Structure 1
Amino acid sequence: MTQAPIFDTHFAERFDQLLDWRRDVRHFRTDPLPPRTLDTLLHAASRAPSVGNSQPWRFVRLRTPQLRDTLAAHVDDANQAAAAAITDPDRRAHYAKLKLHGLREAPDLLAVFSDETPAAGHGLGRATMAETLRYSTVMAIHTLWLAARIRGIGVGWVSILDPAAVTAMIDVPADWTLVALLCIGYPAEPSDIPELERRDWQARESLADRILDR
């Protein structure tokens, strides 16, 4: 039997630092990642837990310049529509100053889908909660995110988009659901404080307000 490793206090402190520095990145340097680095991150992501060991995550590396331009234009349009929907003029002006994606600068783009009908897992654990497939895919994304940050690489999750339109652009099987569009690369301005907090959009609130006893 393989002996379980011992994660000492120093490791725990470093892990806490990793969580502090795992930020959503919008400002990227344009220099490419070293060869096969993205493959290394995807391998790390594939070790995430999943319901019934179904491994529903599906990764699409977006390498076509035309597709990158089309995606960036789509997100820009969605961003403008979101800004127009904000009724408070001060908040709308504040929103307009935020940079919400790095689709044009990040050296790598990754679309992450969840397969809604994976053969793996044989349906175990999801008969009454089919959404656990997508939760599993989110776990893979977070695992990739931590693996990236350990290597000094940033990840930005682009969510201001029309999932159906983006799925059509990428042309994947009909039973795949878009979970994330990720920008991956070296951050231009690393920070342990979330950018939306640095830009005075939203500070982190008290954990105590989010814990209940019953």
Structure 2
Amino acid sequence: MSAPRFSDAFRAELHELFAWRRDVRAFRPDPLPQGALERLLATACLAPSVGLSQPWRFVLVDDPARRAAVRANFERANGEALAAEPGERQGLYARLKLAGLDDAPCHVAVFADPSTEQGHGLGRRTMPEALDYSAVLAIHTLWLAARAEGIGVGWVSILDPAPLAATLEVPATWHFVGYLCIGFARADHEVPTLETAGWECRRPPETFLIRR
């Protein structure tokens, strides 16, 4: 089979998709369309992975008690993060809405399984963390696919991994990568929320380029 040829119009739309991908923090409680989450997870599994190991593991968190435990985990971790901020930044930090845990209809915890035999260890001997990187690529693939369908994703990273793994009763060897809130955003923003809030600004690509 010959590879598809993508048009200039498609590339322009793809760039627009990248630009409009946002870390959503405020969700509408409306449920996702039937089959949407399963479709997004299937697309996530098209992501590249080291040695074709596909180490990602998705845990759908629907149980109210487990969700409450995740929320409590976030509150503890967020309180510690707030206390660690310099005094002049604490007010700004406190005003940021850092989780969509209350309203997002779908919660998905993403782990990487370092014990997987799939891939036969290819590419992991010197960089075993490549398994975690592969799970991150799956998250990003899901994120873009969701945005293309008008669905928002919020990545909650302010969580303590060990209690979270215990709450979700996953194997102790799994590495926690990210907790995703998925649903329809209350509002769409082209500029990242953290930028409009004054927390940080996006820097130009040449800032990160080093030539040798």
Residue correspondences, number? 212
How big is the shift at 1:90? 2.4
Amino acid at match of 2:30: D
State the partner residue of 2:27: 28
Q: Does 2:106 correspond to 1:113? A: no
Q: Does 2:43 correspond to 1:49? A: no
State the partner residue of 1:158: 156
Amino acid at match of 2:161: P
Q: Which runs of 5+ in 2 are unaligned?
A: none
- Scaled by the length of structure 2, the TM-score of the pair is 0.98
Distance 1:14 1:206 in 2: 21
State the partner residue of 1:66: 65
Give secondary structure in 2 for the equivalent of 1:183.
strand
Partners of 1:58 and 1:115 within 8 A in 2: yes
State the partner residue of 1:6: 5
Give secondary structure in 2 for the equivalent of 1:156.
strand
Partners of 1:69 and 1:104 within 8 A in 2: no
Amino acid at match of 2:22: R
Distance 1:76 1:105 in 2: 16
Deviations 1:137-189 (A, max 9, x none): 10100000001000000000001111111111111112211100000000001
Deviations 1:67-104 (A, max 9, x none): 111111210121111111112x2211110000000011
Distance 2:173 2:95 in 1: 37
Alignment RMSD (CA, Å): 0.8
Give secondary structure in 2 for the equivalent of 1:67.
helix
Which of 172, 175, 186 is residue 173 of structure 2 equivalent to? 175
Distance 1:28 1:148 in 2: 14
Q: Percent identity?
A: 50
Distance 1:206 1:19 in 2: 15
Amino acid at match of 1:60: V
- Scaled by the length of structure 1, the TM-score of the pair is 0.97
Distance 2:39 2:196 in 1: 31
Give secondary structure in 2 for the equivalent of 1:117.
coil
Q: Which runs of 5+ in 1 are unaligned?
A: none
